[in-house]
Amino acid sequence: MSSPHIVIAGGSSGIGLATARRLLANGSRVTILGRSPERLQAARALCEGALQTVVADAADSRGIGAIFADLGPFDHLVLAFGSGRGVGPFATVDLADVRQGFEEKVFPHFGCAQAALPHLAREGSITFVSAVSAHAAVPGTAGIGAANAAVAALVPILANELRPLRVNAVSPGVIDTPWWDFMPDDQKAASFADFGGRTPVGRVGQADDVAQAIAFLVHDSFMSGHVLVCDGGLRLSA
């Protein structure tokens, strides 16, 4: 049997890159998509195995269809890109920023999954990356939480509608990735110390913690319709 071909949209950094490394180590063929050629090149240097990199903007619904067609058939799709927009107290968060969050995460996840369908193996899978903000009740996360909840809401519907294709998601907690680089280093260290202290396992997550959960959902042919929260228990005490 040939190795499965797995496409990771948002695979040049953080959770997507850790997932690529883990799946490559399992012998899969992996294609990672990202907008920056430099980031893709840097990611390539960190990977061993049958890796292909493709410059692509997952938010460009027409372009992404052509890219999937060029890739040919593949077995699994992982959607590991997102947005940091829509954070702030409900009373004052800027609606335009919330809308931008939906534009950067919800519609591209929807459009990318839709564009991949003609090329995905019938018994393959789609794994979305949502976030714990979809499930926890943290003040100040109504905007970003709503966008991530919209992604999570796709899972049971698509798992039923697209059967036998399997559809799942992971919802990460606070994970130490470049997603947090908008913060100065000292502020990031203080935030991680605070989140780590509130997390039952006593630390923030690493990208590979989430990659393990994604690899499980990709490989286990009995998992479908599931949103796996991978947060060290943060949702219980956030």
Choice between 15 and 227, CB closer to ligand NAP: 15
> How near is the Cβ of 31 to ligand NAP at its closest, in Å?
12
> How near is the Cβ of 43 to ligand NAP at its closest, in Å?
7
Choice between 85 and 166, CB closer to ligand NAP: 85
Choice between 36 and 160, CB closer to ligand NAP: 36
Q: Which stretch binds ligand NAP (CB under 6 A): 55-63, 91-99, 157-165, 183-191?
A: 55-63
Q: Which of 27, 36, 189, 201 is close enough to bind ligand NAP by CB under 6 A?
A: 36
- Determine whether 182 is exposed, middle or buried from the number of CB atoms within 10 Å of its CB (0-12, 13-18, 19+): exposed
**Interface with ligand NAP, residue 67, by CB under 6 A:** no
- Extended strands (E) in 4-135: 5-9, 29-34, 51-55, 74-79, 120-129
Kindly give the pairing relationship between strand 29-34 and strand 5-9: parallel
Q: Which stretch binds ligand NAP (CB under 6 A): 7-15, 21-29, 135-143, 183-191?
A: 7-15
Sign of the C-alpha dihedral computed for residues 8, 13, 19 and 24 taken in this order: positive
SS3 153: helix
Determine which helix (DSSP H) or strand (DSSP E) holds 149, and give its type and residue range. Answer: helix 142-161
> How near is the Cβ of 118 to ligand NAP at its closest, in Å?
20
Distance CA 124, CA 121 (A): 5
**Interface with ligand NAP, residue 216, by CB under 6 A:** no
Cβ(172)–Cβ(131) below 8 Å: yes
Residues 118-147 that bind ligand NAP (CB under 6 A): 129, 131
Cβ(175)–Cβ(39) below 8 Å: no
Q: Give contact residues for ligand NAP (rule: CB under 6 A).
A: 9-16, 33-36, 39, 56-59, 80-82, 108, 129, 131, 172, 174-175, 177-179
